[in-house]
Amino acid sequence: MLSVNILLAACLAYVFLLFTVAFIVDRRTRERPINWLHSPVIYTLSISVYCTSWTFYGAVGSAARNGLEFITIYLGPTLVFVGWWWLLRKLVRIGRAHRITSIADLISSRYGKSSSLAVLVTLIAVTATTPYIALQLQSVTRSYQVIATGADGVTTAFWVAAGMALFTILFGTRNLDANERHHGVVAAIALEAIVKLLALIAVGVYATYFVADGFADVFANVPNEVIQGSGDIFGPRWIILTFLSATAVICLPRQFQVTVVENIDEKQLATASWLFPLYLFGMTLFIMPIALVGLKVMPAGANPDLYVLTLPLAAERNELALFAFLGGFSSATSMVIVAAIAVSTMVSNHIVMPIALRLLAANQAVSGDVRNLLLISRRVSIAVILGLGFLYFYVSGGSEALAAIGLIAFVGVAQFLPSLVGGIFWRGATRIGAIAGLIAGASLWAYTLFLPSFGGHFILSSEVLANGPWGLDILRPQALLGLTGLDPLVHAVVWSVGINALLFIVVSCFTQSDVLERLQGTLFVDVYRSAGGAPTTQTSGTAETEDLYILAQRILGSQPARDLFDEMALAQGINRGLPHPTDSVILRLERELAGSIGAASAHAMVTRIAGGQTVGMSELIDIADETQELIETSRQLAEKSAALERTARQLRVVNERLRTLDAQKDEFLSQVSHELRTPMTSVRSFAEILIENKDTSPETASRFLSIIHDESIRLTRLLDEILDISSLEAGRTELILDEVETHTAVMRAIDTIAGITHKAGVNVEISGDIKGLKTKANDDRLRQVLINILSNAVKYNTSEIPNIHVRTHSSELYIYIDIIDNGGGVSREEASSVFEKFARGSSAGSNQGAGLGLPISRAIMRAMNGDLTLEFASDGSSFFRISLAKI
């Protein structure tokens, strides 16, 4: 038999080794980072804290009782890690970006840094972890009792608990490092992981190859029921167990601690994705053989839960038994240490600190060092949690099946799953939804599984268990709403996780999230998108940097706080003194503090000092996700395209005008050349005749010469007119304007053309009285216009008894001279073209002039601030109207 003294000595030596490793690593990392500690292997080994004494002892017991079913507990984590890319990677990224300290911190952070959620999650975690710790105490005690028969279980458990509390306090609260990393602890845990793996394999190899004769012998003559268990092994329980274990490896506070919080480099996950399943594979490979050999070799009454230890003991293999004991001890202690750190962080950050800070805030005189307070609160929390575990062990007296307690804890933490996964993948998840789901799920878990596990000795009596409260059959805890025929575990999972997820989704759909919550939700869901997860939030208020500095000193300690503020001041270009309390400074500080005391508390403290509203306008704009960006973009696009359309329309109009002008120019040119060509041709032909026919009679020659002379004059006049109109239209001709008495001007013009009118037999009639009315005009030019219009009226008059009526009248601003003739007039169709160059009235005969008279006249009138227009009388006849500005 293994002597108790040797066992105790070995235990103490082992514990001393753990302390030494943790101490050295902790001290060394303070000086500089230790490279091998960043290795993915160490990371993976620390994750193997999943394998507790429940695996070490309990899995063998489970295999002996239920066959292969124990394997589900390792299948779930295997699937989760194989699929690391889709969930774990995101959790780790969020954890690093937002300095998450625990699963409670993550959930509360996601839902708007809600402290109520943090407290809720913490309470559930404590409730689920306490029995689990008790289980570890129990297994260490049991295994100790196997060797030290007659040792008092309670005393042993007490000393084990005290020792673990000491270790955890020493190495788990040495520093309030940002990000809550505990290098010393991780190193010790990794060492323990190796010890427990080797111990289990050693016992397995011994059982398989020394007690039995290889695998074939182990399985020889084993009835199928032993391997497949009684009943249907691959039923709902198989699925539920796999689901639970998959959930547990994410949601258990200690797993979250080692996987997310202690993660140093995201790439470690890639290695862990296969190395951790491999570790589990190694742990479970020999469990079945040990169980089967134990069943064959050990006496009928032996506890299968302790086969790992009793099998070597029975054969007097003391060294192996000692090794096995240390393996079990390792798996128990590592779990307890990490769980205590994880849960105490939650308790201290989310329950103790907020209360303490409120008390401090109420009593400003006691401005204690928050840093010390934090350390004390964390140490007390660790002691309290281990105390609770011990108490549970003491009260429950150690229930028989170890595995049951583990599964109860699994279902408890599975309540976090909907809020956790929903929170990081679904932006619409709200705080109220999470709270509703968690409360309902946790209550159902307590009612259908946790409380019934006391077998009617705690709160729920056996009477209630059997018949339901107040005899209401429908409320029986293990057959809720008459749901019978299910395994109690499956029943509890279906109800608690089912209702939890359902409420979470439905309530989320019907509630609104506040601004900070939406912001956090977006940051979490889109963690890959925001570079480094730097949120662009925070307080817009009038923060006093000094207050913030004092706060930082209290929590981070004076030197780190000074370093931090110096760094931030330097970044702002301030060499001495404190930085300006900009949003980024406040944000940075909040994140640094969050690494020590959790996001909710850090947020509460910083906002209390920074004051003002939590989220300002600029953050609201940040929250504007792609939808809003899209709306903005499409609005700008619409604006741009409208502007483009306007421009295009204007361009079309301008283009049209240009085309018209171009056509007019071409026409003008061809008209000009035509008009010039006619006289030029006659000049040339008469000149040629004169040159070639020397014998032309002097009379004929002189007639020809006079024609040439006339044509030349006409050409000159035409060219003069063209020059005149172009200079008038271009505004190059400066007309000198004088005061002109209109009536006199009109009479003089009529006198001038008296010769023509007389010759044509046209009667000119004058009406109206504009005597004494003056205008500003160039007298000669005005006469030119009047003569032009009057002579036109004479020239184009085709009437039998031609008559011209010059009607003068005036309005307030203008003097009008209407020249009305009874000739053909101008039709409405022609009206638009009469002022075009080279246009002639349809009634005009050939060779009547170049058709530049009217355009020139109008250009002159306009140059004198007057106008020449074609008007239509009520009977359809047309007349020309000369308007002159009155002075």
Partner 1 sequence: MAGNSDLQLSRRKTRDKSVALLIVGFILMMPPIVRTSLFEGSIFGIPYTVFYMFTVWALLIVGAAIMAPRLRDSDKSREGDSTGQGLD
Binding site for partner 1 (CB under 8 A): 68, 71, 75, 78-79, 81-83, 85-86, 89-90, 214-220, 222, 224, 227-228, 234-235, 238-239, 242, 266-267, 270-271, 273-275, 277-278, 281, 285, 288, 425-428, 525-529, 531
Of 80 and 165, nearer to partner 1 (C-beta) is: 80
Of 16 and 215, nearer to partner 1 (C-beta) is: 215
Strands 763-767, 803-810: pairing kind? parallel
For residue 92, the minimal CB distance to partner 1 (Å) is 11
Q: Which CA distances in Å does 763 have to 748, 754, 818?
A: 16, 10, 16
Of 287 and 340, nearer to partner 1 (C-beta) is: 287
The DSSP string of 323-376 is HHHHHHHHHHHHHHHHHHHHHHHHIIIIIIHHHHHHHHHH-TT----HHHHHHH
Of 218 and 794, nearer to partner 1 (C-beta) is: 218
For residue 113, the minimal CB distance to partner 1 (Å) is 20
Q: Is the distance from CB of 106 to CB of 100 less than 8 angstroms?
A: yes
- The amino acid at 846: S
For residue 137, the minimal CB distance to partner 1 (Å) is 31
Helix, strand or coil, per DSSP, at residue 459:
coil
Of 218 and 606, nearer to partner 1 (C-beta) is: 218
For residue 649, the minimal CB distance to partner 1 (Å) is 38
Of 222 and 439, nearer to partner 1 (C-beta) is: 222
Q: Give CA torsion, residues 190, 195, 200, 205, to 10 deg.
A: 120
Q: Where are the beta strands (DSSP E) in 796-877?
A: 803-810, 814-821, 867-872
Q: Which two tokens stand for residue 704?
A: 């020809």
Of 78 and 345, nearer to partner 1 (C-beta) is: 78
Of 35 and 224, nearer to partner 1 (C-beta) is: 224
Residue 17: count of CB within 10 angstroms of its CB = 14
Of 270 and 315, nearer to partner 1 (C-beta) is: 270
Of 90 and 431, nearer to partner 1 (C-beta) is: 90
The DSSP string of 561-614 is HHHHHHHHHHHTT-SSSPPP--HHHHHHHHHHHHHHH-HHHHHHHHHHHH-SBS
What ranges in 347-481 are assigned the alpha helix state H? 353-362, 370-396, 402-414, 416-425, 431-445, 462-467
Q: How far is CA 299 from the centre of its chain?
A: 64
Residue 470: count of CB within 10 angstroms of its CB = 7
Of 280 and 352, nearer to partner 1 (C-beta) is: 280
Phi and psi at residue 738, to the nearest 5°: -125, 170
User: Of 828, 855, 856, which Cα lies nearest the Cα of 842?
Assistant: 828
d(CA 87, CA 108): 18
Query: Angle at Cα 710 formed by Cα 704 and Cα 715, nearest 5°?
Result: 125
Of 241 and 385, nearer to partner 1 (C-beta) is: 241
For residue 173, the minimal CB distance to partner 1 (Å) is 34
For residue 279, the minimal CB distance to partner 1 (Å) is 10
For residue 485, the minimal CB distance to partner 1 (Å) is 17
For residue 628, the minimal CB distance to partner 1 (Å) is 13
Residue 463: count of CB within 10 angstroms of its CB = 11
For residue 271, the minimal CB distance to partner 1 (Å) is 6
Q: Is the distance from CB of 157 to CB of 141 less than 8 angstroms?
A: yes
Of 235 and 397, nearer to partner 1 (C-beta) is: 235
Of 45 and 543, nearer to partner 1 (C-beta) is: 45
d(CA 671, CA 764): 34
Instruction: Enumerate residues 6+ apart whose C-beta is below 8 A from 800.
Output: none
Q: Which run of H or of E encompasses 775?
A: strand 774-777
d(CA 510, CA 494): 24
User: Of 219, 402, 395, which Cα lies nearest the Cα of 293?
Assistant: 219
Residue 367: count of CB within 10 angstroms of its CB = 11
Of 530 and 843, nearer to partner 1 (C-beta) is: 530
For residue 82, the minimal CB distance to partner 1 (Å) is 4
For residue 243, the minimal CB distance to partner 1 (Å) is 10
d(CA 399, CA 356): 37
Q: Which two tokens stand for residue 410?
A: 């699994």
For residue 355, the minimal CB distance to partner 1 (Å) is 36
Query: Angle at Cα 538 formed by Cα 533 and Cα 543, nearest 5°?
Result: 140
For residue 487, the minimal CB distance to partner 1 (Å) is 14
Q: Which two tokens stand for residue 699?
A: 């009379």
d(CA 295, CA 283): 20
Number of H helices and E strands in the chain, helices first, is 38, 9
For residue 353, the minimal CB distance to partner 1 (Å) is 32
For residue 224, the minimal CB distance to partner 1 (Å) is 6
For residue 68, the minimal CB distance to partner 1 (Å) is 6
For residue 142, the minimal CB distance to partner 1 (Å) is 28
Of 82 and 669, nearer to partner 1 (C-beta) is: 82
Query: Between helices 583-597 and 545-556, what is the axis angle to 10°?
Result: 20
Of 210 and 215, nearer to partner 1 (C-beta) is: 215
d(CA 610, CA 586): 8
For residue 637, the minimal CB distance to partner 1 (Å) is 23
d(CA 445, CA 408): 9
Of 36 and 215, nearer to partner 1 (C-beta) is: 215
User: Of 310, 6, 344, which Cα lies nearest the Cα of 164?
Assistant: 344
Residues recorded for the chain: 887
